[in-house]
Structure 1
Amino acid sequence: MSRKNIEFSALRRSLRLAAIPLVLASLAACTPSLTANVKRFQSQLPAPAGQTFAVVADDPALAGGLEFAQYARLVEAQMSRLGYTPASAETANLLVRFDYGVDRGRERIRTTGVGFRDPFWGGWGGWGGWGGWGGWGGWGHPRFGPWGGWGFGWNDPWLGGGIDSYTVFTSGIEMKIERRADNARLFEGRAEAVSTSNRLPYLVPSLVEAMFTNFPGRSGETVRITVAPEKKKG
């Protein structure tokens, strides 16, 4: 090997070693926002004036739980902001049925990626028909998926190809509004997101915020809504 080639190889090794902490630092500093797919349908949803509502658990297993009560208050606050008045489930004009969950996550490992890809702007999928959702399964949820095309990483010539290893979680909420007097369905909405967080205290408020952005939306339209990133402790 010529002296020139030896010097070039040494330079390559030096740059490769120098690139690793820089890439890791850039990934650590990146805190993506949560981007949710929101799909909503409505039929004769009444104007807020004079209308009362109550938020109830769509899944009977959640009824009466402290966790559900915490998230139900978020929905109640949004409905109140719109002008609806809270009431008891026995007297309210409208019943707002609410459900939420996050799946158990899927490990993603890629070695052929090209360039940095934000996992929250990949190909969306997994939206099924209404009524196709199964049970939450405790903290996990099998109804979400399958998702394809998600991943982030880098493809650096000094690192010898793309490198990623991470877990992604699919979270979602579902909201239905019914007229209590005759059980007529007036609104159906669902928000889903894929993220590297499985923390329901962050995910559910973010998904509720997405659900009520430009509420009630255009019936049958799916929109993509981005909310604030998760705040890291420390």
Structure 2
Amino acid sequence: MKHPNMNPRRSYTATVRIGLALALAGSLAACATPFKADVSRFAAQLPAPQGESFAVVAEDPKLAGGLEFAMYADLVAEELTELGYTRAASPSEASLLVRFDYDVDNGRERVRTSNVGVGPAFGPWGAWGGWGGGFGFNRGWGVGFYDPWLAGPQVRSYTVYTSGIDIKIDSTTTGERLFEGQAQAVSRSNRLQTLVPNLVEAIFTDFPGNSGETLRITIRDDESKKVKEVD
């Protein structure tokens, strides 16, 4: 038997709001990961790691000697060491010179429209807006919902940033360029402390890769371990 004070329309709207809240919570959780980067690599005759030593130096002189650069250079050195190369005490003692650069731009605004509703014209969920545009390496995700009893589609603006790293490897003996690689990503964050480690991981995934090939590398956290996927 229905409660005499129960308003069917109000009950229906409450159910819709609960469903939307659960969907939004799930969407926000999914947005936390993964990290996606576009990686381009060009390799010549990169020597096998048999006694080859390397030193990581700043491509941009303004970064040289900085503590932040040293931290990111250590990440590059760790990857090369895992591959079997040996870190030299100084650039003058290295057989390979690794030139490293990183940056994030000032960001640009994007607009997203969401139109989620319940009703004969919309179906159970409606349509979500999409990402658009491209990006290049230069020196919030938002969501709303449509309630048929309250308002129309929601339009949110947010800022996205393009980050990137650049790695070049030269032979100190011949001066020959042996490797060039670049990793770029578009994200809601401009924190280099988070971006650079992921970009370094991406560029060294299946290193040195196929020369001239551009890949989308996805890095996701799965129970406290990194999982890398190549698209």
TM-score, normalization by structure 2: 0.75
Report if aligned partners of 1:155, 1:163 keep a CA contact under 8 Å in 2: no
Report if aligned partners of 1:76, 1:86 keep a CA contact under 8 Å in 2: yes
Aligned to 1:61: 62
Report if aligned partners of 2:102, 2:164 keep a CA contact under 8 Å in 1: yes
- Counterpart Cα distance in 1 of 2:48 and 2:75: 20
Q: Once the two structures are aligned, what percentage of the paired residues are identical?
A: 50
The CA RMSD over aligned residues, in Å, is 2.9
Q: Counterpart amino acid of 2:97?
A: L
- Counterpart Cα distance in 2 of 1:95 and 1:60: 15
- Counterpart Cα distance in 2 of 1:169 and 1:27: 21
Aligned residue among 144, 159, 179 for 1:167: 159
Aligned to 1:28: 28
Aligned to 1:79: 80
- Counterpart Cα distance in 2 of 1:112 and 1:14: 20
Q: 1:79 to 1:152 in 2, by over 3 A?
A: same
Aligned to 2:204: 212
Aligned to 1:126: 135
- Counterpart Cα distance in 1 of 2:105 and 2:16: 37
Secondary structure at the aligned position of 2:210 is classed as coil
- Counterpart Cα distance in 2 of 1:167 and 1:22: 25
- Counterpart Cα distance in 2 of 1:123 and 1:179: 40
- Counterpart Cα distance in 2 of 1:213 and 1:17: 43
Secondary structure at the aligned position of 1:164 is classed as strand
Q: Determine if the alignment matches structure 1 residue 89 to structure 2 residue 125.
A: no
Which has the higher Rg, Structure 1 or Structure 2? 2
Greater shift after overlay, 177-186 or 46-55? 177-186
TM-score, normalization by structure 1: 0.74
Report if aligned partners of 1:116, 1:152 keep a CA contact under 8 Å in 2: no
Q: Counterpart amino acid of 1:93?
A: S
1:23-69 Cα offsets, whole Å, 9 max, x none, are: 44234323121100000001111111121100000000000000000
Aligned to 2:108: 106
Highest relative contact order (Cα 8 Å, sep 6+), 1 or 2?
1
Q: Counterpart amino acid of 1:95?
A: L
Aligned-pair CA distance for 1:9:
5.9
Note the residue ranges of structure 1 that are not aligned, 5 or more in a row: 1-6, 128-132, 137-150
Report if aligned partners of 1:116, 1:154 keep a CA contact under 8 Å in 2: no
Aligned to 2:228: none
Aligned-pair CA distance for 1:110:
2.4
